[in-house]
């Protein structure tokens, strides 16, 4: 496939008219025996965990075997020297000028690896079903941009979870960045926060996170890789207004993180009429806004939001039916308010129809058992229902036992200090304030290698949600609908949406000056 740089004509290409009807029964395009040259989309492949290298090797193999349809590129290189790979999928015989872009972006939060699995699977499935007439139409009408891992640095950290970016930082001011990373000193396979308890079980002090105190200052885990900056709270849309709300996770300034910059640059150069941002933690399909409710006085905005709400419901239903798990849908703001997210940036800056797909909430109960007739807005019934998921791990370790664990890792209670103080663990024990050490490991720690039951159904469900998003753009007919429907929404005005990239602050509802405080 030739290297592409979209022309001005492509940027002004007419985006599809969209179907906003919600009366439908979603069905996937059925995989059929074909002339596929690879077999990455087989169900067994997705019952295991993939590393960044695994997924990147898969993308390279897909490009190799489908050169007329797939081109592997890069958004750029992170501070930890990892590339953010993008697989562009389209029918090269059809001019780009006649197509609109579709974005499939995943794993912007490093520990949300199931989202990356879903992102990669969709690319493999599309290319391995090229003989299907609907897939052919999709690749004749659209350019698919698949980015399975937007945060490879943090995805690559398996010993503990990192949600945001993980560039080396000198957090403790000793002149050496990230020289006291976390480590499992209790030997239980988890990394947790440490606190002391007295004989009555009362919490008396914090000792930080499990580590070997590699910098030797006595404070455990005080210079880890985790920067605290959340890429999905760092986009250059309403950043100043959201700074107080997002706190430190917003970054030092709008688009301060190199990953955010690369994503924004890619979107400026590759117009998309629709995109999805894939996550984990709950099971839902959300739509803008994230930072506020819809402005009912703005008829154009109301039409946009109504269209995305209807599409999100189709996506939710398709995912749910394939995965046989409950999912819900609503506006992102009504679910939980945030600022500076990718979907708000995409819609607010370019008018792109944008959706957040949360593919997985671990755990479950009888209440969350699959029920196709559940209220589609009820989040309380939505979880994956795994029988082998342990959840968080909490241990109360007697002082003497913990001392032996410290010694096994080259530490002593005389050297380990209370967070932010000069008081040592030994001194606390002498005062009767450290009769035991409480270890609290988040359930996210378990997910470093845990593979959800039926992950193959999860990735297939996400793919079916993606297909519904594409069908809604109006260029490809949903094969489950026998008669074409009249579009109820005017669609975006051009391939970028309603707003041109040279004037990004004029998106709907963006009253921010969006000053990018470059340092």
Is 33 a residue whose pLDDT tops 70?
A: no
Grade residue 325 by pLDDT with cuts at 50, 70 and 90: very high
- pLDDT of 78 strictly over 70: yes
Distance of CA 52 to the CA centre of its chain: 14
Q: Which residue has tokens 């030797």? A: 216
pLDDT value at residue 170: 77
Residue 96 pLDDT > 70:
yes
- Distance of alpha carbon 208 from alpha carbon 257, whole angstroms: 26
Under DSSP, is residue 405 helix (H, G, I), strand (E, B) or coil?
A: helix
pLDDT value of position 518: 30
Give the residue carrying structure tokens 């988040």.
Answer: 442
The C-alpha atoms of residue 39 and residue 173 are separated, in whole angstroms, by: 50
Q: How confident is the model at residue 339 (pLDDT cuts 50, 70, 90)?
A: very high
For position 26, what pLDDT does the model report?
43
Place of tokens 């107080």: 244
142 beta partners: 100
Give 159 or 255, the one with higher predicted confidence. 255
Q: Are 184 and 138 in contact (CB under 8 A)?
A: no
Q: Is the model's pLDDT at 90 over the cut of 70?
A: yes
Q: Is the model's pLDDT at 470 over the cut of 80? A: yes
The secondary structure of 380-402, three-state, reads HHCCCCCCCCCCCEEEEEEHHHH
Give the span between the Cα atoms of 512 and 237, in whole angstroms. Answer: 7
| pLDDT value of position 34 | 63
Residue with the larger pLDDT of the pair 53 and 167: 53
* pLDDT, position 30: 54
| CA distance linking residue 115 with residue 105, whole number of Å | 9
Place 17 in a pLDDT band, splitting at 50, 70 and 90: very low
What percentage of the chain exceeds 70 in pLDDT? Answer: 85
User: pLDDT tens digit string along 117-140?
Assistant: 999 999 999 999 999 999 999 999
**Which of the given ranges, 30-34, 111-115, 165-169, has the highest pLDDT on average?**
111-115
Per-residue confidence at 245, pLDDT binned at 50, 70, 90? confident
Please determine, for residue 365, whether its predicted confidence score (pLDDT) is greater than 50: yes
Q: What is the mean pLDDT of the chain?
A: 87
CB-CB contact of 470 with 102 (8 Å) = yes
244/11 Cα distance (integer angstroms): 35
Q: What is the dihedral of CA 221, 222, 225, 227, to 10 degrees?
A: 140
CB distance 403 to 206 below 8 Å: no
| Overall average pLDDT of the 247-253 stretch | 87
pLDDT of residue 186 exceeding 70: yes
pLDDT given for residue 20 in this prediction: 33
* 259 three-state secondary structure: helix
The per-residue pLDDT for range 482-503, each reduced to its tens digit, is 766 655 554 443 444 444 444 3
Q: What is the mean pLDDT of residues 352-357?
A: 98
- Residue 190 in this model has a pLDDT that exceeds 60: yes
CA angle 42, 316, 290 (to 5 degrees): 120
Q: What is the pLDDT of residue 440?
A: 92
Distance CA 452, CA 488 (A): 39
CA nearest 107: which of 88, 86, 90, 89? Answer: 86
Residue 412 burial (CB count, 10 A)? 12
pLDDT of residue 482: 75
Query: What domains are defined for the chain?
Result: 13-157+229-386+453-506 (3.40.630.10), 193-224+393-441 (no CATH)
Helices (H) and strands (E) in the chain, counts: 14, 12
| The pLDDT of residue 419 | 95
Strand pairing report for 283-287 and 353-359: antiparallel
């Amino acid at each position: 496939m030739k290297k592409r740089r979209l022309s001005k004509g492509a940027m002004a290409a007419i985006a599809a008219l969209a179907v906003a009807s919600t009366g439908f029964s979603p069905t996937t395009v059925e995989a059929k025996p074909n002339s596929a040259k690879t077999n990455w989309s087989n169900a067994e492949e997705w019952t295991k965990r993939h590393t960044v290298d695994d997924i990147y090797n898969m993308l390279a193999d897909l490009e190799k075997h489908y050169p007329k349809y797939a081109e592997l590129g890069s958004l750029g290189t992170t501070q930890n020297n990892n590339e953010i790979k993008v697989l562009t999928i389209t029918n090269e015989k059809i001019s780009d000028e006649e197509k609109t872009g579709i974005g499939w972006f995943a794993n912007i939060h490093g520990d949300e690896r199931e989202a990356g699995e879903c992102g990669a699977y969709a690319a493999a499935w599309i290319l391995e079903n090229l003989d299907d007439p609907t897939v052919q139409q999709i690749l004749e009408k659209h350019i698919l941009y698949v980015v399975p891992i937007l945060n490879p640095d943090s995805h690559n950290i398996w010993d503990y979870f990192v949600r945001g970016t993980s560039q080396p930082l000198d957090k403790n001011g000793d002149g050496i960045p990230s020289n006291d990373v976390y480590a499992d000193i209790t030997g239980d396979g988890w990394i947790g926060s440490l606190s002391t308890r007295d004989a009555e079980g009362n919490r008396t002090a914090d000792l930080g996170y499990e580590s070997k105190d590699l910098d030797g200052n006595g404070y455990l885990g005080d210079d880890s890789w985790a920067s605290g900056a959340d890429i999905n709270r760092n986009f250059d849309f309403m950043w100043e207004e959201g700074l107080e709300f997002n706190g430190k996770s917003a970054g030092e300034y709008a688009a301060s993180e190199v990953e955010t910059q690369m994503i924004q640059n890619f979107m400026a150069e590759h117009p998309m009429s629709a995109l999805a941002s894939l996550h984990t933690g709950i099971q839902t399909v959300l739509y803008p806004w994230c930072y506020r409710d819809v402005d009912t006085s703005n008829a154009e905005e109301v039409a946009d939001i109504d269209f995305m709400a209807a599409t999100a419901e189709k996506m939710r239903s398709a995912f749910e039916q394939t995965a046989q798990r409950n999912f819900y849908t609503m506006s992102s703001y009504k679910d939980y308010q945030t600022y500076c997210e990718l979907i708000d940036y995409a819609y607010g800056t370019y008018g792109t129809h944008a959706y957040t797909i949360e593919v997985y909430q671990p755990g479950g109960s009888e209440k969350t058992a699959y029920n196709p007739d559940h209220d589609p807005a009820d989040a309380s019934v939505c979880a994956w229902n795994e029988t082998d998921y342990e959840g968080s791990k909490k241990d109360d370790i007697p002082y003497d036992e913990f001392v032996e664990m410290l010694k096994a890792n080259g530490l002593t209670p005389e050297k380990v200090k209370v967070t932010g103080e000069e008081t040592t663990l030994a001194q606390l024990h002498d005062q009767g304030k450290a009769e035991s050490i409480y270890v609290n490991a988040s359930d996210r720690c378990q997910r470093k290698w845990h593979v959800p039951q039926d992950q193959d159904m999860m990735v297939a469900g996400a793919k079916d949600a993606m297909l519904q998003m594409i069908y809604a753009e109006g260029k490809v007919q949903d094969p489950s609908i026998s008669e074409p429907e009249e579009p109820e929404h005017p669609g975006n005005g051009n391939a970028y949406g309603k707003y041109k990239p040279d004037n990004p602050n004029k998106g709907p509802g963006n009253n921010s000056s969006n000053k990018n405080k470059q340092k």
